[in-house]
Structure 1
Amino acid sequence: MPRIITDFLDEAVKAVPQKIAFVEEKRSVTYEQLRSEAYRIAMPVITEGLRKKPVAIYLDKSIFCISAMLAVAYSGNFYSVIDTQMPTERIEKIFETLEPQSVITDKKHLDKVKTFYDGKNIIVVDEPDSSAISEEVIEDCKSKILETDVLYVLFTSGSTGIPKGVVTPHRAVTNYIIALTDAYKINENTVIGNQIPFYFVMSVLDIFGCIAKRAQTYIIPKSKFMFPGYLVKYLHDNKINLLSWVPSALCMIANTDAFSVADLSHIKTVIFGGEVMPIKQLKAWQKAIPDAIYINGYGSTEITDGCTYYIVNREFNENDILPIGIPFANSDVIVIDEDGKPITEGVGELCIRSDSMTYGYYKDPKKTSEVYIQNPINDCYPEIVYRMGDLVRFNKYGELEYVGRKDFQIKHMGRRIELGEIEANISGIEGIAENCCVYDSEQKRIVLFYTGMIDEDCLIKEIRNKLVDYMQPKKFMKLTVMPHNQNGKIDRKLLVSQLNDKE
C-alpha cells in the first residue's frame, strides 16, 4: 500500500523501468528516466536544507514540470505549480501568501521569474547540473516524510480577489488515486490524452493516476486544441484510449465535423468534469464512439478533485440533468438545508466526508473554518466535512443531481433561480454551441451570452417553449467565440465585466 505519492513511481520503476511513461512533442521518458530526472532536480532542493517548505514550480505544461513535482515530493517539501500565462500581479499575490523558499523553472522563463522572485534559490531544470545524485540522501529524506505531510498547495480563485491555496497532503492524493483508478478501471494498457493544465486539480489523474497504474500519458500540444480536425487525428495516431477533459474541450469537437477526420473507436473511456456537460454534445460523442464508457466526474480541489461519479447508463433528453452519481470508495455525501440540517428530499447544499479531503486554505484559518465544518449529523466527536457550495438533490434512482452553485443562485422577480438550470435547458436548443447566463444586478435582468448558428428570434421562441417567464433571459448577446479561462471553463467573470460594455 503506497504511503506517499512517490511510492507509486518507485513501484513502477521496479516493475516496468523501460516503459514509456510520458510523451510530449519533443521528447518522451521511461519510468526509470522520469525518476532519475526527479532525483536530479531534487538534489539542489535537498542541499539547500529545505524541509516541509513551499517550493514554487514555474514551468510550462511539460515532462519537466512533472519531474519537478516529483522532485519536490522526494525532497520532503511541498510544491505549487504556477501558471506561466498568469499575470504578474496575481503571481505576486500568490507568492505573498506562499512565501516560496525556492523556485524551479527553466532557461526560457528565468528572466521572468527574476521579476517577481528575489530569492537566491532558483533551480533551472534544463541547465547542466554538476551535483551528483545520492540515492542514499534521497532515501533518507523519504524515510522522514509522513503520509500526513503536505504534497502540494494548489491556488484557486478567491471571491475576494486573493487566490486561495488549498493544502493537500500525500495521504489525500494516494487515497484518491487508488479509488479513482479502481472506479475508472485504469490499468497498464491505458493511454491517456492530457488536456488539463497541471495547475488544475483534474490533472492528478493524468499524472499520478498514470504512474500508479504504470500506464502512459500523452501531453497533447496546446496548438492541437485550436484545430479540432488535427486534434482528432492526434488521438487516432497515438491510439489514445482515455480522455479526462473539461466539457468545453469535448464540445469543441462535437460542435464540428471533426469526428469524420479519423476513426476514434479505440477510445474506451471519456471522462468529463469541472463544469456541466451539455447533453446534446454528449450525444454527439456517443454517436461517434458508441462503445466507449462515458463518465461524469464531480468534485473540487478541496477534496482532491473527485468525490462522486456517474457512469452514463441510460438515454437522456437534451434538457435533462446528467447525474453526478455516487461517491467514490471511502467517500460519503450529506445534503443539508439552509439551517444546516441533513435532508433526503428537495434541494440542499452538498457536504463531503472523505479520506481524500484536504487540510484547508494556506494561512487562512477564517476561510477554512467557514467551509471545513463539523459533520452536522455527528455531535459526539470531532469530524470535519467540506461544504461544497453546490446545490444538489437526489433523483428517483438515488443518484445525486447537480442543480447549481450557491453563488450562481439569484433571486429574481421574487423567486430563487439557478442560472445553471437555465443554461442546461438552452444547451439543448438546436443551433446553440455554447451558452452562459449571468445576472445583471443593476438592470435586474438575466443576460444570455451564446455562440452558434441560431438567430435571436428563433432562440427567443425556443426559450419561451422551455422556460417559465421569470427564468427567461431578457438580454441576448451573441458571441463569435465564447471566452474560456486557463482551466478551459467558460470565463464568467469576464462576461460579467462586459455587461456595461455591451449596451
Structure 2
Amino acid sequence: MKNITEYLERTAELYGDKKAIVCEDKLLTYGDYLYHAQSSGTVFSKLMVPKSPIIIFMEKGPEALSLFMGVAYARCFYIFIDPKQHEGRIQQILDISNAKLMITYESSLPSTIQYSGKTLNYQDVISEVPDINVLNKVQCSALDTDPLYCNFTSGTTGVPKGVIVSHGSVIDFIDEFTTTFKITDKDIIGNQAPFDFDVSVKDIYSALSTGATLVVIPKRYFSVITSLMDYLIDHEITTLIWAVSALSMLVQFKGLSYKVPEHINKIMFSGEKMPLPILKKLQKSLPSVLYVNLYGPTEITCNCTYEVIPETLNDDYAMPIGKSFLNEEVFLLDETNHLITEYEQKGEICVTGRCLALGYYNNPEQTEKFFVQNPLNKVYPERMYRTGDLGYRMPDNKLYYVGRKDFQIKHMGHRIELEGIEVMAYKNTSVNQACCFYIEEKHQIILCYSGSIDATELKKYFIEKVESYMVPTIIKQFENLPLNNNGKLDRKQIRLEYQSL
C-alpha cells in the first residue's frame, strides 16, 4: 500500500453504506466519504503540483476529513487550521507553509490575516464530478514517502514547527496499532483531539483502515460534562483515544457519577502522565475496559511505546510507558551517545524505524538537530529521532518516562527534573492536576495544582516525601488548571495566571 486513499477505497467497497463519520446532525457514509474525496481530489489534481501543501481552514468535522482524502488523491499534503486558533499563530503557520491553496467555508479570510494564495469554497470543491482518469494519472506515480500531513507543534522558541509525515509512516503505524488493540469495523471511535494534534491521526486512520465509525465530538461538549456523557452514550462509543487531561475531566467533574457509558471497551491515553488516582477511579467506574498508556512525540507518527494497564492497581504502581511497537526500535543514549543497558540509569529516549516523520517543514536547521544519524550504527545511513525525553528501564525490561531534558533545572546545587515534582504531587490522591515551573531569577520552584488538599497540607506532604531541595518554594491552589486546544495542561497560561496573582 502506497497511499492512504487505498484504505478509503478498500473500506468503501466493503462498507459503502455504513456510517463513516458522524458529528451531531452531520453524517457521511463510506460511499459519501469516497465520492467527496474524489471530487475534491479532482479539483486539487488540476490545480496543484504533487507534494504541495493545501490549507484546510475550517472547524473539525466530516467536511475537513473528506478534504484530507482529496488532498491525498492529489499527492499533496494537508495542513489543518482551526479558525478559532489565535490569529497570530494562524499567521505564523501560513507564513511558514507558503501554501498556494486554501479551502474554507467562506470566500475570504478575516481581514486581519494576510494570505496571498488562492482560496476555494468547500461546497464548490465537492460539487466537482470526480474524474477517475485524472486521479489515476496522479496516483500512478504515488510513493509511500509522499507527505500526507503537516501538524504544527508549539516549538520551544515560540515559532511553530511543522512536523511533516508520510503516507508510509501512517500506514505502517496504523496497521500495527489496530492489530495490537483489535480495533475493527464493530468499533465506534469517539474523537476528542483537534485535527491538528496527532492524537487525532489514530482516530481518523484507525476508522478509515478498519471500517469503524468515527464520531467527532465538538469541543463545546467538554465544557458541559453531562452533555458529554450523554453524547458518548447516545452514540454508543466503544473506543476513546484521548489526551490525559480530557479523560481526567470525566472524573474531576463527576461525569461518571452522572452516567456510565457502558459500551466503552477501550481507553487509550497519551500526551501527559496519567495521575494514578484518576486512573483508579476510571477503572472503578469502567472495570471491564482495556486501558493503555501510549507514549510518543508527534515526530515519530503518534506513538512508539505502549503499556497495557493491569486490572488491579496498588498505590505504589509506577506506570511505565512500556514496550515498543513491533515496527519501531526505542532505546536510551547517555550524554556521550553510548547505549544504556543498565537498569535504572537515565538517558535520552531515541527512536529509529519507518515511523519517523520526514522532518520539519521549511526548517532544515531543526530537522538536522533532531533527526540525526544513529550514532550506534557506523556502517550505513540510519535516521534516528532524539525525543528530548528522559527515561530508564527496570528489570521487567519496560521503559519508564522521567521527563523532558529541558525541564531540568539547577536548584540549590542539585539537578532537578520538574516533572519529577509533578509525579510526586500526583501520588497524593487528593491532587487532580499539577504543573511545576521554575522562576530562575528568584530561584523559586512553583507548583500550581487543583485538588481537595490545601496548599499547607500539600507542602507538609512534600517535606515528608522528598529531599529538601525538591520541596516547591511556593505551592498555589487553583480550582482548575487551564488546558490548551489539545487537551493538555496549558503551561504557558498557568504560569501567566500565577504571575498575575
Do the structures match in fold with TM over 0.5? yes
In the other structure, the counterpart of 1:478 is 477
Q: Confirm whether residue 298 of structure 1 aligns to residue 295 of structure 2.
A: yes
Contact 1:318 1:427 in 2 (8 A): no
* 2:308 matched residue in structure 1: 311
Task: Confirm or deny that 1:223 pairs with 2:214.
Answer: no
3-state SS in 2 of match to 1:442: helix
Q: How does 1:250-399 map to 2 (within 5 A)?
A: 250-313=247-310, 315-318=312-315, 320-345=317-342, 346-399=345-398
Tell which deviates more after alignment, 34-43 or 283-292. Answer: 34-43
Structure-1 residue corresponding to 2:155: 158
In structure 2, C-alpha distance between the alignment counterparts of 1:269 and 1:307, rounded to whole Å = 19
- Structure 1, residues 68-124: CA drift from partner, whole Å, max 9, x if none? 1111011111111113222222222222221101001113xx443564354352121
Residue number in structure 2 paired with 1:234: 231
CA contact (8 A) 2:40 2:128 kept: no
Shift of 1:433: 1.8
- Most deviating of 261-270 and 401-410: 261-270
Alpha-carbon contact 1:43-1:133 (below 8 Å) kept: yes
Q: 1 CA distance for matches of 2:347 and 2:152?
A: 27
- 1:314/1:30 Cα in 2 relative to 1: closer, same or farther (>3 Å)? closer
Say which is worse superposed, 276-285 or 424-433, in terms of deviation.
Answer: 424-433
Give the structure 2 partner of residue 134 of structure 1: 131
For the residue of structure 2 that corresponds to 1:379, the secondary structure is coil
2 CA distance for matches of 1:129 and 1:327? 40
2: CA distance, partners of 1:384 / 1:250: 34
Q: Is 1:428 aligned to 2:427, yes or no? A: yes
Match of 2:26 in 1: 27
- Supply the distance in 2 between the matched residues of 1:420 and 1:101 (Cα, whole angstroms): 41
Report the AA paired with residue 466 of structure 1. K
Secondary structure of 2:456's aligned partner:
helix
SS at match of 1:133: coil
Whether the 8 Å CA contact 2:481–2:494 is kept in 1: the answer is no
Label 1:243 to 1:49 Cα distance change in 2 as closer, same or farther (>3 A): closer
CA distance in 2, matches of 1:471, 1:129: 58
CA distance in structure 1 between the partners assigned to 2:389 and 2:45 by the alignment = 41
- Paired-residue identity, %: 36
Counterpart CA distance in 1 for 2:71 and 2:179 is 27
Q: 1:183-209: CA deviations, max 9, x gaps?
A: 111111111111010000111111011
RMSD of aligned residue pairs (Cα, Å): 1.7
Within 2, Cα distance between the matches of 1:317 and 1:467? 21
Query: Does 2:241 match 1:244?
Result: yes
State the aligned residue count. Answer: 499
Residues 250 and 256 in structure 2, CA contact (< 8 A), matched pair in contact too:
yes
AA at the equivalent of 1:282: L
Cα 1:382–1:234 change in 2 (3 A) is same
Closer, same or farther in 2 for the Cα pair 1:211/1:462, shift >3 Å?
same
Q: Work out the CA distance in 2 between the residues paired with 1:256 and 1:130.
A: 44
Q: Are the counterparts in 2 of residues 44 and 123 from structure 1 also a CA contact under 8 Å?
A: no
CA contact (8 A) 2:2 2:142 kept: no
SS in 2 for 1:493: helix
Report the alpha carbon displacement of residue 130 of structure 1 after superposing the two structures with TM: 5.5
Tell me the distance in 1 between the aligned counterparts of 2:235 and 2:173: 28
Q: What letter corresponds to residue 385 of structure 1 in structure 2?
A: M
The 2-side partners of 1:452 and 1:112 are apart by 42
SS at match of 2:322: strand
Opposite residue 240 of structure 1, the aligned amino acid is: I
Partner in structure 1 of residue 105 of structure 2: 106
Paired with 2:390 and 2:90, the residues of 1 have a C-alpha distance of 32
1:189 to 186, 194, 206: 186
Decide whether the 8 Å contact of 1:426 with 1:432 is kept in 2.
Answer: yes
**Is the partner of 2:400 in helix, strand or coil?**
strand
CA contact (8 A) 2:388 2:405 kept: yes
Task: State the shift of 1:264 in Å.
Answer: 2.6
Tell me, what secondary structure is at the counterpart of 1:323? coil
Q: CA deviation at 1:259?
A: 1.3
Q: Aligned partners of 2:3, 2:210: CA distance in 1, in Å?
A: 15
SS of 2:304 mapped into structure 1? strand
Question: Quick check: 75-84 or 58-67, which moved more?
Answer: 75-84
Does the CA contact (< 8 Å) of 2:187 and 2:213 recur in 1?
Answer: yes
Once the two structures are TM-superposed, the CA of residue 18 in structure 1 deviates from its matched residue by: 0.6
**Take 1:129 and 1:96, find their aligned partners in 2: how far apart are those partners?**
27
Assess if the C-alpha contact under 8 Å between 2:79 and 2:149 holds in 1. yes
Alpha-carbon distance change, 474 to 134 in structure 1, aligned in 2, over 3 angstroms: same
TM-score by structure 2 length? 0.96
1:200 alignment counterpart:
197
Letter matched to residue 266 of structure 1: H
Match of 1:209 in 2: 206
Structure 1 residue 285 displacement after superposition: 0.5
C-alpha distance 291-453 of structure 1, shift in aligned 2 (>3 A): same
Query: Which blocks of at least 5 consecutive residues in structure 1 are unaligned?
Result: none
SS in 2 for 1:112: coil
Point out the more displaced range, 294-303 or 489-498.
489-498
Cα distance between partner residues in 2 of 1:125 and 1:37: 10
- Is contact 2:304-2:324 (8 Å) kept? yes
Report the equivalent of 2:11.
12
Shift in Å, 1:498: 4.2
Measured in 1, the distance between the counterparts of 2:248 and 2:405 equals: 25
Aligned to 1:448: 447
- Equivalent AA in structure 1 for residue 319 of structure 2: L
- The one-letter code sitting in structure 2 at the alignment partner of 1:422 is I
Cα 1:481/1:495, change in 2 over 3 Å = same
Cα contact 1:21–1:217 (8 A) shared by 2: yes
Which residue is equivalent to 1:82?
A: 81
Whether the 8 Å contact between 1:431 and 1:453 is mirrored in structure 2 is yes
Which amino acid letter does the alignment assign opposite residue 169 of structure 2?
A
Instruction: Tell whether the 8 Å contact from 1:326 to 1:400 is kept in structure 2 after alignment.
Output: yes
* Offset of residue 354 of structure 1: 1.7
